[in-house]
A and B are shown apart, each in its own frame.
Chain A
Amino acid sequence: MIAAFFWLCLKASLLSSGGLGNLPSLHQDLTGLHWANSGDFAHAVAIGQFAPGPTGLWTIALGYLVAGLAGALAAALAVSLPPQLVLVFDRAYHYGGAHPAVAGFVRGITLVVAVVVPVVLLKVLANTGFDLRSGLLAAGALVGAGSRRVPPAVLLAAAAVAGFVLYR
């Protein structure tokens, strides 16, 4: 199972851009195999937001929830490998620049990711006991994060307090 999980994470990372770009593919693959449910994804994304380091490390939290320490380490390896292609791209860039089609391909993937990730996140939220309170909290965080004026740690702390009060 660990090898298959590693392969799914690697494949999702190779065809993605940014920290959350691998979320839609992994959600489709892992929920299809019944190795994870929307709750696992919701928790992993939450951990990725409040743990230090890159947001993309949410995949490691997901690996831990799916397959324990071995899953976390497999996910860590899978997300660290594709970005190392930067050394190839860097060399190509200095020998005349990357081919326009390569740049276009990555742009196309990024544009798809930018739309598909929010749709999948909405599905995740809907499958984890979505109600008016969680909708309001998500909307508030969206506005707060979008304004760039409120630090993420403050947003999450406020959401924890609000959740504690609203769901008592």
Chain B
Amino acid sequence: MPSSIASSATSAPTEPATARSLLRAWAVMGVISFGGGQSIQLYAYRHFVQRRRHFRPAQWSEMWGICQLVPGMNLIALCVLVGARLAGAGGAVASLAGLLTPSIAITIAVTYLYARLAAIPAVGGAMRGVVAASVGMAMVNAIRIAGPPLAATRRLGRLAGAAGLVVPAVAGLLVFVTSLPIYALLVGGGIFVAAITWMASSQGAEG
């Protein structure tokens, strides 16, 4: 779907995107971006909004908002969406291949080396340091993702805002003191907030 949305995104894109240019752009971003999704997001924004002007900032925000609704890795969703809007199905496939192929190859190579180096006593200490720091950094990433849904539930009113706080608190407590299946917590939390959101939206529409 080389969509009209994309073509009307800006009055002057520097040049039309093709599957090949998307493949190249995402491959470069996948290889040079250290620090996970945030740095890729930044590179992608600079490339597609500021340099190539394929999208306006508001469109980019809207696309990122849609990606928040999709299960799994939001960044892969963004990559597929950008590719589809700019160059149809071929663009989506090229973007996905560009982002993932080099990153996956490097990740496998790093894992291979890591598994072997970790067994060497001299580097074992350094590895323990990296693992501990990674856990700390991963916690920050996990906590950060709570911001947008908390803000969204607050906007829906007092009841939804309270539900947004109660659900993670109860889930945290349950996972700490029980051995309930994680899926039960995920689905239970999802259904509860879905019901509250639906109710709050209906009331808002009626009001």
Contact = CB atoms under 8 A, between A and B. Distances in A.
B125 A166 contact: yes
A133 B148 CA distance: 34
Contacts of A98: 66, 69
A65 B63 CA distance: 35
B107 A114 contact: no
B80 A87 contact: yes
Interface stretch (B7-15, B45-53, B109-117): B109-117
Given A13-B72, A103-B69, A107-B153, A124 B135 contact: yes
Nearest to B124: A167
A152 B37 contact: no
A48 B150 CA distance: 26
A53 B35 contact: no
Given A107-B193, A113-B142, A52 B33 contact: yes
A159 B130 CA distance: 5
Nearest to A146: B140
Interface string A52-76: 1111110011001100010010001
A112 B164 contact: no
Contacts of B207: none
B108 A104 contact: no
Interface in A104-124: 104-122, 124
B143 A114 contact: yes
Given A15-B186, A121-B142, A163-B126, A108 B77 contact: no
A69 to B, nearest CB: 7
B41 to A, nearest CB: 10
Contacts of B200: 100
Interface residues of A, number: 108
A14 B123 CA distance: 37
Contacts of B143: 114, 118
Interface residues of B, number: 100
A163 B132 contact: yes
Nearest to B74: A18
Q: Which of A54, A57, A121, A122 has the most CB of B within 10 A?
A: A54
Interface string B174-207: 0110000111011101111111111011100000
Nearest to B104: A76
Contacts of A125: 131-132, 135
A39 to B, nearest CB: 9
Q: Which of A94, A98, A137 has the most CB of B within 10 A?
A: A137
Contacts of B171: 111-112, 115-116
6 contacts: A50-B34, A113-B145, A121-B135, A142-B137, A162-B129, A163-B128
Given A125-B131, A137-B129, 5 more contacts: A15-B186, A24-B175, A46-B130, A47-B111, A107-B153
> Top 7 closest A-B pairs, CB basis?
A163-B129, A104-B197, A53-B103, A167-B125, A108-B193, A141-B136, A159-B133
Interface of A: 11, 13-22, 24-25, 28, 42-57, 60-61, 64-65, 69, 72, 76, 79-87, 89-90, 93-94, 98-122, 124-125, 128-129, 133-135, 137-146, 151-153, 155-156, 158-168
